[in-house]
Amino acid sequence: MDSNKKLGLIGRNISYSFSKKYFEDKFQKLMLKGFSYSIFDLNEINEVEALFSTPDLLGFNVTIPYKEKIIDYLDELSDEAEKIGAVNCVLIQDGKKIGYNTDAVGFEKTLLLHKKSHQDSALILGNGGAAKAVKYALDKHGISSKIISRNSEINFDNLDKETVQNHKIIVQCTPVGTFPNVEDCLNFPFEGLSKEHLIIDLIYNPNYTQFIIKASEKGAKTVNGYYMLEQQAEKAWEIWNFQKK
């Protein structure tokens, strides 16, 4: 039977994809015949225009490096996506292209599962689309945060041990250490970490990044991005299937 509901993932150099397997397993579990999930590897974001003319395209997920760039190609944004300034899920409905952000809810669920009451301020490592969703979720729960990036005031070169000691939540939002570059690790003062700290690394492949390994050696509680990924995927599924007016 021909597929008549197409979903997929856009990104660049997507060598592996959690999403494809996740949704194909879902189609199987729910015994859905008419669905397919494809990988759309785009060298440049403007290639998405050709994708939009695909018949029966219900929507797609968006990953690095297009979570912000996709916005210019959409007709409408959800409130959250607008406030965050990043989109990781697109719904195509009656010819309209609508952007959502399900990273924020995925991160929020991860955070609330692991956060302790003394963990009330955070460092966000990175400043891309995922970092924006993380900041939105932290703000929502009254957790103050600082963004550390290559060119922020506090950056990877001058971030010191004391700053790390004073922020008990560290969220690693850069792709550094992702498969296949599993030996790579951010420049980070791990000696500032203790068992008081919660470390969330949004990477899920490998399960244990160098960042997580080094943080756990200091006694910190460490969590990878797998649960967040599942939760954002579930939310995307809801958007694609239950938004029909």
For the chain, domains (ranges, CATH) are 5-101 (3.40.50.10860), 104-227 (3.40.50.720)
DSSP conformational letter for 12:
S
Report pLDDT for 133. 97
**pLDDT band at residue 1 using 50, 70 and 90 as cut-offs:** very low
- Predicted TM-score of the model (pTM): 0.93
Catalytic residue check, 97:
no
Q: What is the pLDDT of residues 79-129, one digit of tens each?
A: 999 999 999 999 999 989 999 999 999 999 999 999 999 999 999 999 999
Q: Is the peptide bond before 180 cis (omega within 30 degrees of 0)?
A: yes
Is residue 13 very low, low, confident or very high in pLDDT (cuts 50, 70, 90)?
A: confident
Highest-pLDDT range among 5-19, 69-83, 231-245: 69-83
**pLDDT confidence band for 199 (50 / 70 / 90):** very high
pLDDT at 197 over 80: yes
Q: What is the pLDDT of residue 150?
A: 93
pLDDT at 17 over 90: no
- β-pairing, 76-77 vs 198-201, is unpaired
Cα gap 15→64, rounded to integer Å: 12
The answer on pLDDT for 14 being more than 90 is: no
**pLDDT at residue 132 in the model:** 97
Check whether 25 has a pLDDT greater than 50: yes
- Please determine, for residue 66, whether its predicted confidence score (pLDDT) is greater than 90: yes
pLDDT at 64 over 70: yes
User: What are the residues whose beta carbons fall under 8 Å from the beta carbon of 205, sequence distance 6 or more?
Assistant: 16, 18, 178, 179
Residue 243 pLDDT exceeds 80? no
Q: What is the pLDDT of residue 3?
A: 53
Q: Phi and psi at residue 87, in whole multiples of 5°? A: -130, 135
Residues 6+ apart with CB under 8 A from 208: 224
26-38 burial code (b ≥16 CB/10 A, e <16): ebeeeeeeebbbb
Per-residue pLDDT, 245:
40
Cα–Cα distance for residue pair 186/211, rounded to 1 Å: 7
Catalytic pick from 6, 67, 135, 214? 67
Task: State yes or no: pLDDT of 158 exceeds 60.
Answer: yes
Q: What is the pLDDT averaged over residues 199-207?
A: 96
